[in-house]
Structure 1
């Protein structure tokens, strides 16, 4: 599945439309965000995560996303299981993103799969 660029409103809608969602909150001037872009794209295309929706939001353009980050910095990742926040953290490595995705895989929705 490709990555969807969205905004605060889209995030609120999409987390209820898909059983598993991972959102990457990024910023234009964030070097680590750029470093993690290729792995995030790679994970989005892997068969293992075909039932996971990948979202990207710019924190500078989305005040709700920025508030969710609180005092943390980009890149900030958030996972949702059936519309509920599951996990959130600032991640700086590909392995960190993969671990968060693997945790999200335990979220099941038999009606959707």
Structure 2
């Protein structure tokens, strides 16, 4: 499944329309964010995580989306189930993202 870009105008809609969601919060200036991008895309295409919607949002330009997950540092990953925040984590390690996905 492709990674879907979202912003403040459609974040709640995407969270509520999909049962299991992971959101990656990034900023254009963030080097770690750029490094994790291809790994995140690869995870989104992994059959193991079929049924999970992968979203991407620029934390600097989307304060409402950022507030929903309590983002403090980047890159930040948050998992949501049925529109509700389950857990969030600031990391640039693929293993940590996989652990987060396994909680869904």
TM-score (norm 1): 0.85
Q: How does 1:69-108 map to 2 (within 5 A)?
A: 70=70, 72-104=72-104
Question: Which structure 1 residue ranges, 4+ long, deviate > 6 Å from structure 2?
Answer: none
SS of 2:72's equivalent in the other structure is: coil
CA separation of 1:61/1:20 partners in 2, compared to 1, >3 Å: closer, same or farther?
A: same
Aligned to 1:110: none
> Deviation of residue 70 (structure 1)?
4.5
Does residue 4 (structure 1) correspond to residue 26 (structure 2)? The answer is no
Per-residue CA deviations over 1:53-101 (Å, capped at 9, x if unaligned) read 0000001110113334646211111110111111111112011111101
Ranges in structure 2 where 5+ consecutive residues have no aligned partner: none
SS of 1:8's equivalent in the other structure is: coil
CA separation of 1:43/1:64 partners in 2, compared to 1, >3 Å: closer, same or farther?
A: same
CA separation of 1:86/1:5 partners in 2, compared to 1, >3 Å: closer, same or farther?
A: same
Aligned to 2:19: 19
2-side partners of 1:61 and 1:3: how far apart?
18
Does residue 58 (structure 1) correspond to residue 37 (structure 2)? The answer is no
CA contact (8 A) 2:69 2:78 kept: no
Number of corresponding residues:
104
1-side partners of 2:21 and 2:82: how far apart?
8
Structure label with greater radius of gyration: 1
